[in-house]
Structure 1
């Protein structure tokens, strides 16, 4: 029996879940199959969860259908030379459109490409990323802290040099020295969106249940953003207080 353990996204804290930063994209992936997979190995290659299905089919000896998204990494797991013959990914792609929590339906459409060295994010609105309301509510009267730290308008483009800046804090998209890599990654990302017929290319994406956009952040006349008042839902720790305007 092949056992696979994985997760869908990063933790529900600021700059993680609901964002395309590594803290939101990086997930656990553990596989156990003593028949073919040696114990105790760890890997640093880029993988995507869409690679799981073709890998499972490959390990089961089933032909992988043409056109299936993802690529098998079975050779990475089973080869005695620790991945000899594995076709390594040069990039993975990510997206976020809608977030939902505590009665808020937050629309922040973003798309990203991540290579071993760089992360490029295209933001299709200037609304700041969603922050999980359970986490946010614990600031209580100090809610101005997350507003000051996380409430800046989202730039149209974000580029991070992950070797120099693994926490993705220094956006170098506007720096001339990174212009070439920015343009290359932008072109690769747009080509991927076109190839996958991403609806963002046609304009704003409606909520899948037809609900209105009620963002966590409200845009002010000066272009800044302030937190909207809301009633936070109950968390695993019990009810959370309302955050007043």
Structure 2
């Protein structure tokens, strides 16, 4: 009887005090998030991506401690269009961000807003994030202010921009100093490197000791220019290391997801501004000591639209149905993860100039999987014109060689054709440099039609304004 009474009493006390005990147990804090964005950074130009003549120990260490995605592609080969997709998890057509100077409409949700609503302290700092429009033209500024189109001041807790490396670190430190204790934080740290102008002279490798991409002409001026580009990346690596060291000193490493990504490809031959691999394929590395298995390399097809759902998933936030990207979290522990079946990307207007050439204004679309890529050049009559380096000595030298007939035929064809083909198809396995256009060849007729059909569907669903890639068959009168 006494035993029975004692048991009843104990159970009664447990029933009374159990809720209080449970309330005292703290839920694990969602991970902090640091998104580091390099500017104009093509894969594979990092040590961890297998490029031999570059020293990037800090970023390489990040890769060794986390997961590296070899097939990560931006949704456009231009910063505004690409960053808009990264920020929203939606493609650039869907959110109407194909004009370079467009501000992101206030009706379109950016993922930092969702993090903020869920209790995160949020910030964007460093290199201009490019999504509030452009203030270079006074008339544009008047319009932005008249209609209150600059919205990011209302989307995050902390918003500052600078191009100075030391100032970037100061803003980063200030943000963390202001972050409330016990509250998770998200911060985007943007760098200008390796964007032109190249000025990291003390970080440059010897031009004679570097490997050029196989589809580039090997000239002295081109080697010097590319060495300058690699120098910018090596300088960037030191700045990334500074951020990572600070996280360690603050005791934040263990519960911080660090993401490193390029915003689009580099301003290099057949890079930025083009739909080739050097324009779209960027480095993407993620590290979280507890949640991501270290030392992984993934060949899954990944798009810029996947960043937003991944960060929301990590934070335990429901992913809105409008987001079309895929969370990469399933890949974190080495599970089989295929990513996308196909990747889509667009080329739109660039900069604020009038359409003097294809650098300023070009319209193109692409769809590809691991085997084949289709590029649709809607204004194919306009020849290739480089973005951001048309006045550089190496390009002027190539133009002179072309004019004098001293440039090899394959480079003439790739760089100086009077007109581009309307359609290009490349075998990505056999021809990763994308130099042998297979479009129109009988042996890939079915593949070409399938890719055009996929692109047609995507363009229709996203209300694309370009002519569709499959034209009607001629009908007899």
TM above 0.5, yes or no, is yes
Paired position in structure 2 for 1:185: 451
Instruction: Tell me how many residue pairs correspond in the alignment.
Output: 198
Residues 165 and 87 of structure 1, relative CA distance in 2, 3 Å threshold = closer
Task: Indicate the structure (1 or 2) with the bigger Cα radius of gyration.
Answer: 2
TM-score by length of 2: 0.39
Paired position in structure 2 for 1:2: 257
* Deviation of the 1:186 alpha carbon: 0.5
- Tell whether the 8 Å contact from 1:122 to 1:158 is kept in structure 2 after alignment: yes
Paired position in structure 2 for 1:31: 286
* In structure 2, distance between residues paired with 1:108 and 1:143: 21
Gaps of 5+ in 1: 203-245
* In structure 2, distance between residues paired with 1:145 and 1:196: 43
* In structure 1, distance between residues paired with 2:402 and 2:261: 30
The within-5 A match list for 1:103-142 is 106-126=360-380, 127-134=382-389, 136-139=391-394, 140=396, 142=398
Gaps of 5+ in 2: 1-255, 404-411, 469-477
Q: What secondary structure is seen at the aligned counterpart in 2 of 1:131?
A: coil
Q: What secondary structure is seen at the aligned counterpart in 1 of 2:362?
A: strand
* In structure 2, distance between residues paired with 1:65 and 1:116: 28
Considering Cα pairs closer than 8 Å and 6+ residues apart, tell me whether 1 or 2 has the greater RCO: 2
- Tell whether the 8 Å contact from 2:306 to 2:326 is kept in structure 1 after alignment: yes
Q: What secondary structure is seen at the aligned counterpart in 2 of 1:95?
A: strand
Structure 1 stretches (4+) deviating beyond 6 angstroms? none
TM-score by length of 1: 0.74
- Tell whether the 8 Å contact from 1:13 to 1:135 is kept in structure 2 after alignment: no
* In structure 2, distance between residues paired with 1:108 and 1:102: 12
- Structure with greater helix percent: 2
Query: Considering only aligned residues, what root-mean-square deviation do their CA atoms show, in Å?
Result: 2.2
1:151 aligns with 2:416: yes
Q: Kindly provide the CA deviation profile for residues 18-52 of structure 1, in whole angstroms up to 9, marking residues without a partner as x.
A: 00001111001111111200121111111001011
- Structure with greater strand percent: 1
* Deviation of the 1:130 alpha carbon: 3.0
* In structure 1, distance between residues paired with 2:368 and 2:431: 14
> 293, 298, 310: which one pairs with 1:43?
298
* In structure 2, distance between residues paired with 1:144 and 1:9: 29
Q: Kindly provide the CA deviation profile for residues 181-240 of structure 1, in whole angstroms up to 9, marking residues without a partner as x.
A: 0000011011111111223249xxxxxxxxxxxxxxxxxxxxxxxxxxxxxxxxxxxxxx
* In structure 1, distance between residues paired with 2:458 and 2:319: 21
* In structure 2, distance between residues paired with 1:129 and 1:60: 43
The within-5 A match list for 1:166-185 is 166-185=432-451
Q: What secondary structure is seen at the aligned counterpart in 1 of 2:360?
A: strand
Paired position in structure 2 for 1:223: none
* Deviation of the 1:116 alpha carbon: 0.6
